Amino acid sequence: MTEPRITPELVQKHNLTPEEYEKILGILGREPNYTELGVFSVMWSEHCSYKNTRPLLKTFPTKSPKILVGAGEENAGIIDIGDGLAIAFKIESHNHPSAVEPFQGAATGVGGIIRDIFTMGARPVCAVNSLRFGPITQAPSKSSGVTAEIANNRRLLSGVVGGIAHYGNCFGIPTIGGEVYFDPCYEGNPLVNAFCLGVLRHDQIARGSATGVGNPVFYVGPATGRDGLAGAAFASQDLTDESAQQQRGAVQVGDPFMEKLVCEACLELLATGAVAGMQDMGAAGLTCSTCETAARADTGIEIELDKVPQRGPGMTPYEIMLSESQERMLVIVHKGREEEVKRIFDKWDLPWSEIGTVTDSGRMVVKHGGTVVVDLPARQLADDAPVYHREAREPAYLAGVRAFSLATVPDLTDPREALSRLLAWPSIASKNWVFRQYDHMVRNGSVVCPGSDAAVIRIKHDSVPPVPGQPPQALAQDKLIAVSVDCNATYVYLDPYEGSKIAVAEAARNLACSGAVPLGTTDNLNFGNPHNPEIFHQLAESVRGLSEACRVFRAPVTGGNVSLYNQNPNGAIDPTPTIAMVGQIEREEHITTQWFKEDGDAILLLGAPVDGSDPMLGLGGSAFLKVAHGTKSGTPPRCDLEKEKQLHEALLALIYSGEIKSAHDCSDGGLAVALAECCFSHQKARDTFQLTGASVDLSSVSDLRLDALLFGESQGRVLVSVSALNAVKVIERARILGVAALNLGITGGTALNIRTGTGEWSWDLRELHRLWWNAIAEAMRI
């Protein structure tokens, strides 16, 4: 087949600028051929090179005594958890593919993040996800009926959840937590961020380096096809109706059963010591895995494409190199140990092929039928992509946000309808329609499943890959790992710096509410087109807030993902820097959940009821303003990081004392929503719920707007329940630890009763629970 001539139009079609093409000419000293142009286009895409964000990412805190593999070193970060054990974890996006084909887009997002974990030598033990969609319910002010946009949002939600469930359930990994938000900004451009965590011993850490000149290079996994062609480049451009139709082939097709075989074979192979380096074929496929492994080792690599298993007839070098077919791995083997590798792959009934060797040339050389079709310097291809310092300009809309005042918002006189509407709002309502499709109990390590502030998983001895030739070693005690994923994108939209601080603070607060101390953070930066100075301002300010907060909570960034160009025809998505934070719980008795445990317990609020120094009283950007007034404006709550840290440390101290029965942070929907969730969020068994009423007296908090008191989202607040006999003692201890504490009332009964200085109201828990539990399911049935 004759390759097309390199023209400015072809260069532009590959998403390369004229300046970038000139740099390629300078590196090569000649014109690239068609396949080489494709290789540069994917390796220099934002998805692979971070060319627009690298200077910002360098400002993240990335060091701690517990970090064994840090950000940017390998496919995932690794943190020590004691007794010679470690965890590997990471979060990544699959937004564009999920917008085009939601089931396979989401499924292969799960598959890709799982491979990032076991390629490090870790056994994957749990998954979490963060999802964003356009509205799935009609606004009350709109006419009845379902619009085309809402129908499409429901289609995307159903497809994405189905894809995540299919891949995770079939692979056999528990999906133990996550978050789901709905907002018009995500119409046509959903966000699908997938997280995975694995466990390994310190001596099992594998590296993605092509070390050892003369070592053979093996391909393992299913044959290469034309699916996923140039997916990395597709993810690095604006998503439009036209591009979606053109790039439908850029969506990969996953096979979780094949991935399970690849995982087990690779872990067994790593245990033999025959592996010199390993890398999954994720974004940019065979291109990325070859040049990145060579660049890390400062070596070269040479492969023959005729030896690459191919699924389609007559595949060109361009197609083979840029395909992102799933479940494939590149393995560099110590010379002389090839037969061990072949034996293990044959045992697991996996296709394999010896496709090349490691060289000392420093170049990535690709042959097809013995003819050289790619000859490029590996390090320059992998590491020398152009780096841009984009212009940043404060968005014009922020002036209106700061000018917004509560003077334009009438106060509530009766909060009963408002609480019911908030609990039925899909962003706050129970996500059981989503998580009941996931197997969150497989492997029997899940301790706290979806439905509380943070998920908790038990690392047992059978989760740790054994020492070769030795029986599995029993741990002195099981390790308890907590995971939280958070981001209120509305806050970030209204104040990128403050909102990003809140995202980190809430993740850390959720860990504290579960009894965990933070270990590290992985982030997924979902933003619009960085060429827009206003969007780049959002990105820069967001990274500044994330960096500051991660330092305060001693939760360094171990890696993550940047997903830019998230645009729909109406504009960019709200900036959404998703934070996944991992913590450790020292003892099983410290595990804490959010729901009230029994009647007669005292309900305490740790932290001030309302931040009086905030002119919006916690209502800026709140769920209440959006649901009750249809307004997304006002400066979001302030986040005092030092006070937050003090709250978390005090809460953990109280949990360690054994006197805290439940803990739940006040976030979306404010105090009233948090109280309701504490009353009814415990599902004891299928269709069996624990409804524990509460009687709360807020009349001591006077001279305050009722909407701000009940639905304001001031930061740094946690609801706890304790034995009534210990209430005074816990309040005094909290105050000694520097945290305000207030006795709100007592648990018991079948209703939520709230008294304020302006009145007393009661809600039947069964009705509130019905609204909260069924909201998403009812929307998806329409």
Just list the catalytic residues: 47, 94
The token pair that represents 754 in the structure block: 């709230």
For residue 703, is it left (φ>0), alpha (ψ between -120 and 50) or beta? left
- Which residues lie across from 572 on neighbouring strands? 567
Backbone angles phi, psi at 61, to 5 degrees: -70, 130
Distance CA 551, CA 641 (A): 10
| Strand pairing category for 571-572 and 682-685 | unpaired
Whole-number Å distance between alpha carbons of 468 and 536: 50
Task: Give the angle 151-153-158 at the CA atoms, nearest 5°.
Answer: 95
Closest C-alpha to 591, from 455, 491, 470, 472? 455
DSSP lists the bridge partners of residue 483 as: 455, 582
Query: What letter does residue 58 receive in the DSSP assignment?
Result: T
CA angle (350 as vertex; 347, 354 as ends), nearest 5? 105
- Nearest by Cα to 243 from 568, 524, 6, 8: 568
Spatial distance between the Cα atoms of 46 and 234, rounded to a whole number of angstroms: 10
Q: How far is CA 257 from CA 239, 335, 404, 728, 731, in A?
A: 31, 30, 53, 56, 53
Tokens of 342: 């072949």
Closest CA to 582 of 644, 487, 518: 518
3-state secondary structure of 727: helix
Distance of alpha carbon 106 from alpha carbon 93, whole angstroms? 9
- The Cα–Cα gap between 749 and 766 comes to 12
Is-contact 482 89, C-beta < 8 A?
no
518: nearest Cα among 490, 570, 483: 483
- ∠ Cα 757 758 763 (to 5°): 100
604: left (phi over 0), alpha (psi -120 to 50) or beta: beta
